[in-house]
Amino acid sequence: MKTAVLNIDGMMSVCDGLGVEKRLLTRPGILGVEANFLSGTATVRYDESKVTLADVKRMIAECSYHCSGEQVPLHIIRTPSDLHEGRYAEGKEHGSGHKGMPPTSAESPPETAPPPRHAGHDDRMAEAGAQAAMAHEMGHGGGMSMEAMVQDMQRRFIVALVFAIPVFIYSPLFTQVFQIQAPLPSGVSNELLSFILATPAVLYGGWVFYVGAWRALKNRVLNMAVLVSLSVLGGYAFSVGATFFFESEVFYEAASLLLVFVLFGHLMEMRARAGTSQAIRTLMNLAPPRATVIRDGRQVELSTSDVLVGDIVVIRPGDKVPVDGVVIEGMSEVDESMITGESVPVKKSERDEVIGATINKTGSFKFLATKVGRDTALAQIVKLVQEAQNSKASSQRLADRASQWLVIAAIAASIATFFIWYGVALEPLVFATTLAITVIVIACPDALGLATPTAVMVGTGLGAMNGILYKNAVALEEAGKINAVILDKTGTLTLGQPKVVEIVTAKDGLSEAEVLRLVASVEQGSEHPLAQAILEKAHEKGVRPGNVTDFDAIPGHGVSALVDGQRRVLIGNRKLMRDRQIAFTDVDNRAAVLQGAGRTVILAAVDGRLEGAFAVADAVRPTSREAVRRLTSMDIQVAMLTGDNRATAERIAAELGINTVFADVLPGDKAAKVWELQGQGKRVAMVGDGINDGPALAQADVGIAIGAGTDVAMETADVVLTRSDPLDVAKVVLLSRATRKKMQQNLWWAAGYNMIAFPIAAGILYPSIGLILRPEIAAIAMSGSSLVVALNALSLKRVKVKELVPAPEDVLLPEQASSSSQVTAATTTSVRHT
């Protein structure tokens, strides 16, 4: 099965997306479709053995929409013409050669190959195919950028307004309200003049809606365009008949002003809807368009899309990293906040990984490209966010069905209103027709259709900008409902790697700095995790190792060496010390206490005397304690899951403020612990990072994979955190709850609006207080309702996700973690050096 996120130009409302879904799902080989009219995209899952991407594009064209290909980040696109034809959507993303590259000389600066141009598609290149949700093949024009579509809608609005104003001035309504009779041109009746003025406004201004209505009916769905077309063309056609064929009042002004207000509302709505996908546009444009690589010994500047795996990429101060890779030369600090949400620059040196779209700060380096095109972290994040925005929560599916029934109800109510007022109440034909049109206008389903998807798009986009990737709308919705969180200890609450948490030295012996220097001297060059922990501690303390000679590895016990040609240093366990007849000091007793607390202890003897002991353990992450406090403050039960023994686990849990502990848990039993809490009626989130966390992540109501996790954990999880920070779990809940709140507010608003608007539009207040709504007023109410929903969803952007960080006094600093007893039990107390 293959999944593609495709641009679909021309969708005007949620019902259009339903039409695309309905038509495509009838075709063999199409396994799933989720269309999103807000972003103008659809996630299509299809069987590659039965259907090609070209086939899918043809199917979309048969629905009368234009598919311009896949929506992908700029650094994947090779040329604008490829983008227009959608050729980058299949096959090779990168050329196999380097044709068209001009020759370069060793003395010349990096050669720049000018980007290819393709007339008429610059806007598409800039937008990378994004934001074409409301383009119309006959109205707006297929493939327009968002800016062009807004300008097109603005032109139609201005034309409609310019012609509608004189129509209104010559209307009976204007004469009655203002008691002014505008003079008519010689020989022209009021009705004929209104017809001449209203026709351009109705035909040009409303063309996009007529095309949209035809397309919707062809796909057997009813949408906002159908209602607008019925009301505008119905009123216009009735007035034309009254002008030329029968005697009656006309209401050209109602049709014209109705269209003006609908166009204005749609224009404002387009701008608001464009804001919902601002995050995805930002992500898609993060990677730089050009990259400097070394080819044949020369530096060559080329398109990022032409960078190949194995290329050596040159990065200078201030450059953006174009693709993913591994540093092979130089060092610098890189700002990774745009990908991970981490504001502090990360130091990079040889063998460190770099992520495409991150920003180099001051140094220079070269790196080997390991992932390009669709395989880069940025491309994967973009795809994940796209699929999440196109997916549908349960409340959205209900709203989608309700939108269809609302259109049917509006048409039925309009017909009933006409017959009741005209046939039963014996009101004039124009009066009954006006109310019938008003009912159709005011019942537009846009507010109901926008209620959930706008909140989902803003929520997932905001999450992505803060290092939180929701895989689908269901995960976004469900994460806000959880009331229990199980946190895997190793790699989640802890760093998952050994750290020196305490150094003990003999009271009458060498200083701590000297013992550390001697031991680090012997350990330098060793890749053993415990040796690396000691070397890291020496680096933190600014200790420089000495020269080592006469090195001797003692398998299973330790090592021995001569430092600076003077000091004989022996490093290992207690058995090694006894075997070598080392003179024991008070260090031994203190080391026994440390070992009894569940730490790995490394003993160090200098010149035949026990001078020091190093306690090594898996240190707690600096923000773990604050993460637990935040989750608890949200009325969420926090549980820790570990394979450690009960005593060690409970001590760690107590210091982190965790009351529920699952200790001595085998890897295969983790899912059972999730099920145990679920059996108590809890909605459970599981947070983990390892392969053995996969079943538990799948069992949980919401599985959360932490940033440093394995591919298996991330594949199984519902939410992926790009950083290895447990505090982000609290952010997941915060953002989900805020998004759910906006969904509920929007749904209540949309439902309440229609419950009140329907009877008022039908004239229920006319017999008692003589109040009726004219179609143009109904258009304002309808547009305003949709705009309120969109703006309410956009207010999610005010949620300060980044401010959910611990106060300085609440943070467990690395050195505090090292000296704290918040450490995990080591699995072994012996030291082996290889």
3-state DSSP helix/strand/coil percent for the chain, to nearest 5?
50, 20, 30
Burial state string for 745-763 with b = 16 or more CB within 10 A and e = fewer than 16? bbbebbbebbeebbebbbb
Q: Is 601 helix (H, G, I), strand (E, B) or coil?
A: strand
| DSSP per-residue codes, 678-732 | HTTT--EEEEE-SGGGHHHHHHSSEEEE-TT--HHHHHH-SEEESS--THHHHHH
Residue 525 neighbours by CB distance under 10 Å: 11
CA angle 235, 237, 242 (to 5 degrees): 95
**N-term to C-term CA, the chain:** 46
Contact 332, 360 (CB under 8 A): yes
Six-digit token string for 545 = 């190792």
Contact 614, 601 (CB under 8 A): yes
As a whole number of angstroms, the distance between CA 305 and CA 466 comes to 26
- For CA atoms 45, 48, 52, 53, the dihedral sign is positive
Cβ within 8 Å of residue 448, ≥6 positions away: 14, 399, 402, 403, 406, 747, 750, 751, 754
Give the CA-trace dihedral at 149, 155, 156, 160, to 10 degrees: 160
As a whole number of angstroms, the distance between CA 599 and CA 615 comes to 6
**Beta strands at 548-554 and 558-563: parallel, antiparallel or unpaired:** antiparallel
As a whole number of angstroms, the distance between CA 650 and CA 668 comes to 21
Contact 689, 306 (CB under 8 A): no
Secondary structure of 518-566 in the HEC alphabet? HHHHHHCCCCCHHHHHHHHHHHHHCCCCCCEEEEEEECCCEEEEEECCC
Distances (CA, A) of 494 to 465, 602, 646, 689, 732: 25, 21, 17, 11, 19
Q: Is 639 helix (H, G, I), strand (E, B) or coil?
A: strand
Cβ within 8 Å of residue 769, ≥6 positions away: none
Q: Is 636 helix (H, G, I), strand (E, B) or coil?
A: coil
As a whole number of angstroms, the distance between CA 284 and CA 278 comes to 10
DSSP label of 335? E
As a whole number of angstroms, the distance between CA 626 and CA 725 comes to 11
Burial state string for 218-254 with b = 16 or more CB within 10 A and e = fewer than 16? ebebbbbbbbbbbbbbbbbebbbebbeeeebbbbbbb
**Beta strands at 660-662 and 637-641: parallel, antiparallel or unpaired:** parallel
Residue 184 neighbours by CB distance under 10 Å: 12
Question: Which H/E stretch holds residue 260?
Answer: helix 252-276
Give the CA-trace dihedral at 442, 443, 445, 447, to 10 degrees: 50
Residues designated as active site: 488
Six-digit token string for 651 = 């001590």
Question: Which H/E stretch holds residue 477?
Answer: helix 473-479
Cβ within 8 Å of residue 37, ≥6 positions away: 11, 12, 13, 14, 16, 17, 133, 449, 453
Specify the length of the chain in residues: 834
